[in-house]
């Protein structure tokens, strides 16, 4: 798949950080991971850090797919409201999903602190009502989160105007959020586990997968074979082609980044990511060098050539929306891009085995707006599965949840 269009900021900022060798020999390991993006890196790091022998394969250079186009807003807030999840799966499961994502931010902070130069920093998250009709839902959402101990503040129209300088009927301010450079984080994790003995091989496309009750054979197009006890399919939005069942809808999302902006002009935006209640939603956050990263205007386009043609127009449209909110902030696009984006009906990911492939093939499909936090949680979930332990998220994040609601 052609996963991105235009000029993704992380790829331009960081360049090709490291070329891992192509796989040219047969290998044996505990777990083979297909995908060397941020999801594969987090899963592989979790497994390798707990004694599992890991081999990671990718058809591209590491992190060169969707990871390089990610906007990397780290939030516990899921695209689906907590109260909506509660209506489908019960309040206990809804709170579990949100609380787990909040925990994932702390876990990612620990990961980042053990690495160098991943541009991680804590932030706040402002979720504002796009129009008056959304006020009731936001209030309901706020009250449910507050009742379950989430650190949230309710802002009315005056509160939003006073603190952030733009007009909105109301907003929920959450104290827990963060930002990171996903490209650097992926390379940092992959480099660390390679130094500890894991094998990382990019530019090594997989041609065939053969699974049985005892293990999995992974055959590359170059003729090498990896024999593994388990396979983790962490190939991002391309993982769906390994399932006959449609579990997510591919779409396109767009983003751009500005030149650096003076911190005094940005004001509260330097430490607060902002997103809205409309769907698809506008969102924005700053980078470590005070650029404003703005994204949204998702559409149902899943044809690369059409997405390519839309990038500049989408960037101008997003810039106009932000200018309307913040007239004093210069939001001229410096680099703009688009990318494939997949979302599930309920906003939750898919982690675990699917009946089509049996118990030895595990999927890591961190789809939706919380891809990185989901991947952080998914690594632990998949490790528990491999170690034959129970995990509190296995049903809610696994294919079994089709039976929960």
pLDDT for 162-182, tens place per residue?
999 999 999 999 999 999 999
The torsion defined by the Cα of 168, 172, 173 and 174, in degrees rounded to 10, comes to -150
- CA–chain centroid gap for 225, Å, is 30
Question: Cα–chain-centroid distance for residue 309?
Answer: 25
Q: Assess whether pLDDT exceeds 80 at residue 405.
A: no
pLDDT band, very low/low/confident/very high, at 2 (cuts 50, 70, 90): low
What pLDDT, on a 0 to 100 scale, did the predictor assign at position 116? 85
Percent of the chain with pLDDT over 90: 87
**Residue 143 above 90 pLDDT?**
yes
User: Taking 70 as the threshold, does the pLDDT of residue 1 lie above it?
Assistant: no
Between CA 171 and CA 337, with CA 331 as vertex, the angle to 5 degrees is 95
Whole-model pTM?
Answer: 0.96
Token couple for 168: 């909105």
The ranges of the chain annotated as CATH 3.50.50.60 are 4-69+183-247+347-403
Structure confidence by residue, pLDDT tens digits, 240-261? 889 999 999 988 999 999 999 9
CATH 2.160.10.10, domain 4-69+183-247+347-403, yes or no:
no
Residue pair 341/252 in contact (Cβ under 8 Å)? The answer is: yes
- The fold of the 121-179+249-343 domain, in CATH, is D-Amino Acid Oxidase; Chain A, domain 2 (3.30.9)
Q: Give the mean pLDDT of 44-67.
A: 96
146: pLDDT strictly greater than 90: yes
Cite the residue boundaries of each domain of the chain with CATH code 3.30.9.10.
121-179+249-343
pLDDT digits over 59-83, tens only? 999 999 889 999 999 999 999 999 9
160's tokens? 């939003």
Q: What are phi and psi for residue 155, nearest 5 degrees?
A: -115, 125
Contact criterion met (CB below 8 Å) for 284 and 295: yes
Do the beta carbons of residue 276 and residue 283 sit within 8 Å?
yes
C-alpha distances in Å from residue 378, one per residue of 116, 151, 354, 393 = 23, 24, 15, 9
Q: Is the pLDDT of residue 303 over 90?
A: no
R_g (Cα) of the chain, nearest Å = 21
Q: How far is CA 33 from CA 84, 230, 270, 360, 385, in A?
A: 33, 9, 36, 12, 15
């Amino acid at each position: 798949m052609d996963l991105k269009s235009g000029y993704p900021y992380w790829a331009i900022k960081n360049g090709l950080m490291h070329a891992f060798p192509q796989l040219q020999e047969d290998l044996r390991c505990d777990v083979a991971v297909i995908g060397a993006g941020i999801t594969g890196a987090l899963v592989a790091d979790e497994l390798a850090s707990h004694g599992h022998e890991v081999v990671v394969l990718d058809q591209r250079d590491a992190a060169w797919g969707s990871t390089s186009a990610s906007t990397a807003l780290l939030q516990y807030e899921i695209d689906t409201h907590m109260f909506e999840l509660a209506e489908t799966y019960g309040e206990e499961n809804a709170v579990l999903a949100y609380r787990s994502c909040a925990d994932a931010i702390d876990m990612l902070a620990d990961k980042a602190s053990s690495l160098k130069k991943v541009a991680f920093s804590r932030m706040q998250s402002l979720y504002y009502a796009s129009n008056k009709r959304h006020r009731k839902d936001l209030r309901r959402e706020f009250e449910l989160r507050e009742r379950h101990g989430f650190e949230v503040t309710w802002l009315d129209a005056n509160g939003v105007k006073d603190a952030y300088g733009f007009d909105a009927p109301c907003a929920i301010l959450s104290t827990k959020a963060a930002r990171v450079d996903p490209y650097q984080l992926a390379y940092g994790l992959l480099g660390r586990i390679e130094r500890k003995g894991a094998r990382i091989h990019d530019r090594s496309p997989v041609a065939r997968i053969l699974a049985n009750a005892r293990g999995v054979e992974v055959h590359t197009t170059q003729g090498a074979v990896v024999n593994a006890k388990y396979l983790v399919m962490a190939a991002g939005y391309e993982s769906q082609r390994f399932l006959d069942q449609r579990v997510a809808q591919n779409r396109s999302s767009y983003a751009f980044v500005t030149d650096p902006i003076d911190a005094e002009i940005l004001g509260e935006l330097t430490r607060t990511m902002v997103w809205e209640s409309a769907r698809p939603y506008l969102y924005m956050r700053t980078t470590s060098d005070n650029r404003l990263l703005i994204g949204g205007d998702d559409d149902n386009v899943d044809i690369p050539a059409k997405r390519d043609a839309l990038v500049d127009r989408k960037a101008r449209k997003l810039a106009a929306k932000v200018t309307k909110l913040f007239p004093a902030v210069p939001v001229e696009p410096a680099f703009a891009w688009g990318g494939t984006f997949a979302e599930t009906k309920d906003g939750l990911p898919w982690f675990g085995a699917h009946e089509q492939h049996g118990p030895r093939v595990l999927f890591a499909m961190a789809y939706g707006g919380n891809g990185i936090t989901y991947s952080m949680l998914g690594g632990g979930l998949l490790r528990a599965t491999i170690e034959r332990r129970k995990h509190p998220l296995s049903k809610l994040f696994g294919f079994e949840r089709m039976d929960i609601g």
